[in-house]
Amino acid sequence: MNPGGSFGEKVVESRPSVADYTTVPTKSESNATTKTKKSDVSFVGKRGIRSNNGVYQLLECSICTNFMYPPIHQCPNGHTLCSNCKNRVVNSCPTCRHDLGNIRCLALEKVAESLEFPCKYRNIGCLDISPYYNKLKHEQNCRFRPYNCPYAGSECSVTGDIPTLVAHLKDDHMVDMHDGCTFNHQYVKSNPHEAENPTWMLTVFNCFGRKFCLHFEAFHLGMAPVYMVFLRFMGDVNEAKRFSYCLEAGTDGRKLIWQGIPRSIRDSHRKVRDSLDGLIIQRNLALYFSGGNRRKLRLRITGRIWKRE
Ligand SMILES: [Zn+2]
Ligand SMILES: [Zn+2]
Ligand SMILES: [Zn+2]
Ligand SMILES: [Zn+2]
């Protein structure tokens, strides 16, 4: 998973004159899924006029083939291109080599404004139809969009629906799968003092017909070495809120207890960790909980998941 990646690809453009444009992630529009869908899409204008692929193709930048959003530019000979490409090619039209100047193609911007498009995830169930300029914003938040692999500690780029990701976690990351809504895990580390690198572990729980990721991490919070345990829900943000969980670590008499709401895997692992939304145990306390001579971490975490209300 690459928590920062999707944000890094966003190209934020300044469009001072028009209010409701969305950010344009050139990368996601140019991926293979989009490409195969593009050609077979027909769309309906505001007054119900069905258009064909001709107009649709006019909105693809002839240089990068991404969809164009205002400001759409053109050269004095009428070749259109997106603002990203315009900035890249300096001042020469990639098609005719004429000086580009600074000409906006307002007519095409207006035409685009009057069109409506189906969501690109319609083949997996989304029925949304949005005005052209809202389409990207919708798709960035569409509940049918694929999830990122929730595995921590690696730059895994696999995306997919939940069943795909569960199979991927099991087969490719060798993640342990458990059935049931309670857990009783022991984390053992023989040399907890020398571990400067972040350590992480993931277990998947199958409970209420849903999948949950239990993360165990070792990292430094400022100067202090800590362990953190938290739960993520393999599904959307709104559904995650329907569940609660608790975690407990300790020995006889002394206990740390955490109760929380699982975070959706829409929130990156890193984001959840950095927001400290979970059970945090200072290393000294963890070693105390481990018993023995404090050289070895032997931390037992028990917990439970339940439905709220
Ligand atoms: Zn372009
Ligand atoms: Zn030109
Ligand atoms: Zn959608
Ligand atoms: Zn993965």
Q: Residue 91: nearest ligand to its CA?
A: 2
Residue 267 makes CB contacts below 8 A (sequence gap 6+) with 232, 237
135 closest CA partner among 20, 237, 53 = 20
- Domain chopping of the chain, boundaries: 5-141, 147-307
> Under 8 Å CB-to-CB from 287, ≥6 apart: which residues?
192, 294, 297
The whole-number pLDDT of residue 24 equals 40
The predicted pLDDT at position 34 comes to 38
**pLDDT value of residue 186:** 85
CA–centroid distance, 244 to ligand 3, in Å, is: 28
- 69 alpha carbon to ligand 1 midpoint, in Å? 10
CA of 117 to the centre of ligand 4 (A): 32
User: Residue 35 in 3-state DSSP?
Assistant: helix
| Residue of 195, 212, 170 whose CA lies nearest to 287 | 195
Q: How far is the CA of 171 from the centre of ligand 4 (A)?
A: 10
Task: Classify domain 5-141 at the CATH topology level.
Answer: Herpes Virus-1 (3.30.40)
Ligand nearest to the CA of 86: 1
User: Quick one: which of 148, 158, 139 has its CA closest to 37?
Assistant: 139
φ and ψ of 167, to 5 deg? -65, -40
Residues less than 5 Å from ion ligand 3, measured at CB: 119, 121, 126, 128, 142
Ligand having the closest approach to the CA of 165: 4
Q: For residue 266, how far is its CA from the centre of ligand 3 (angstroms)?
A: 15
**Mean pLDDT in consecutive groups of 10 residues from the start of the chain, 309 residues:** 36 35 39 40 44 74 90 94 91 92 93 88 90 89 92 85 95 94 86 66 94 92 91 95 96 90 93 94 90 81 93
Distance from Cα 31 to the centre of ligand 4, integer Å: 19
How far lies 156's CA from each of 10, 147, 233, 250, 265, in Å? 19, 12, 18, 34, 14
pLDDT reported for residue 171: 96
CB distance 297 to 192 below 8 Å:
yes
Determine the pLDDT at residue 18: 35
Say how many CA atoms lie within 13 Å of 53 toward its Cβ.
5
Tell me the fold of 147-307: 2.60.210
Q: What phi-psi label fits residue 15: left (phi over 0), alpha (psi between -120 and 50 degrees) or beta?
A: beta
How close is the Cα of 279 to the center of ligand 3, in Å?
A: 35
Question: What tokens appear for 159 in the block?
Answer: 């995306």
Collapsing DSSP to helix, strand or coil, 295 comes out as coil
